[in-house]
Amino acid sequence: MMTDKGAEMGRNGPGSPERDKDHASGHDVRLPGLDAFSGKSELSLLSGSLSSRAKFYAKLRTRIKKRVRTFSSNGSRIVKRGMDVCGSLSAIILLLPLFIVISVWLKLDSPGPLIYRQVRIGLHGRPFPFYKFRSMFIDSDARRAALLKENESKDGVIFKMKDDPRITRCGRFIRKYSIDETPQFLNVLLGDMSLVGPRPPLQSEVAQYTLDDRKRLNVLPGITCIWQISGRSDIPFREQVVLDKEYIRGHGFWKDVLILFKTIPAVLAGKGAY
């Protein structure tokens, strides 16, 4: 005689009439606790799906922001280059009569070439030929070492001397009004310089730079910048670096335009130029 438990198992066991009846009627027979286990699995899958989707959208947002920054940076460079080309070309055309007068005066004043060519350090430490009207006698570089003890620059990195004996009569005039710098519009056209940016240093000056000073080399050097409209050579080198870094952090089209407009009265005043 079968026990109650055995009878129950017999009724519900494999091949039992009740179980076959349930299968035949379409009812799903689950083991106890299976529903709870299935619910947890579905919740885990849903959570994993949401997490993957969140990661995907986070990566997508990062990529979009990067593309926008790249596009904005490229756009700024294109605008700045366009302004450099148009501005320097216009300046060369407008100043052509002045160039002729200065060339004649230079030839009559002292022997030597009209244009002084010097190697300067540009963007990311790249050397380039730097042009300016010759304002000194042709042996000026050879005499520089003997005058180093007379350097009036407070920091000693750059060499400045108000009554430099190497400067010619014509040179004093063109230096006072920065006319000697006008051939650098050609450097701007060639892409070695910009209208606005930190002044390009000599290799000997870069050799004395600290890591912080080298931040000046992170942008194209320029004909004028903040310290050129704030006192020019009267400003010590360390303050020049501070002002250059201020420009690098916040440079843009309208800031460049403002600096260019402020350069005109600064040049005409002739203050701090020697």
For the chain, domain boundaries:
79-269
Residue 22 has pLDDT above 90, yes or no: no
Q: What is the pLDDT of residues 40-68, one digit of tens each?
A: 566 566 566 666 777 776 776 777 766 65
Structure tokens of 241? Answer: 């670096």
What residues contact 134, with CB distance under 8 A and at least 6 apart?
A: 106, 112, 113, 114, 115, 116, 168, 171, 180
Give 68-104 pLDDT, tens digit per residue.
555 555 778 899 999 999 999 999 999 999 999 999 9
Bridge partners, residue 247, by sequence: none
pLDDT score at 83: 95
Best mean pLDDT range from 118-122, 138-142, 156-160 = 118-122
Top pLDDT among 259 and 17 is at 259
Separation of first and last alpha carbons in the chain:
124
The C-alpha R_g of the chain, in whole angstroms, comes to: 38
Q: Decide: 131 and 221 in contact? Cβ < 8 Å.
A: no
Q: Which two tokens stand for residue 29?
A: 């027979």
Q: Which of 10-24, 36-50, 243-257 has the highest mean pLDDT?
A: 243-257
Average pLDDT on 198-202 reads 93
Task: State the pTM of this model.
Answer: 0.71
Q: Half-sphere exposure of residue 8, counting CA atoms within 13 Å on the CB side? A: 3
pLDDT at site 61: 73
Cα dihedral 97→98→103→106 (10° resolution): 150
Looking at per-residue confidence, does 165 or 15 come out higher? 165
Residues 11-39 have a mean pLDDT of 48
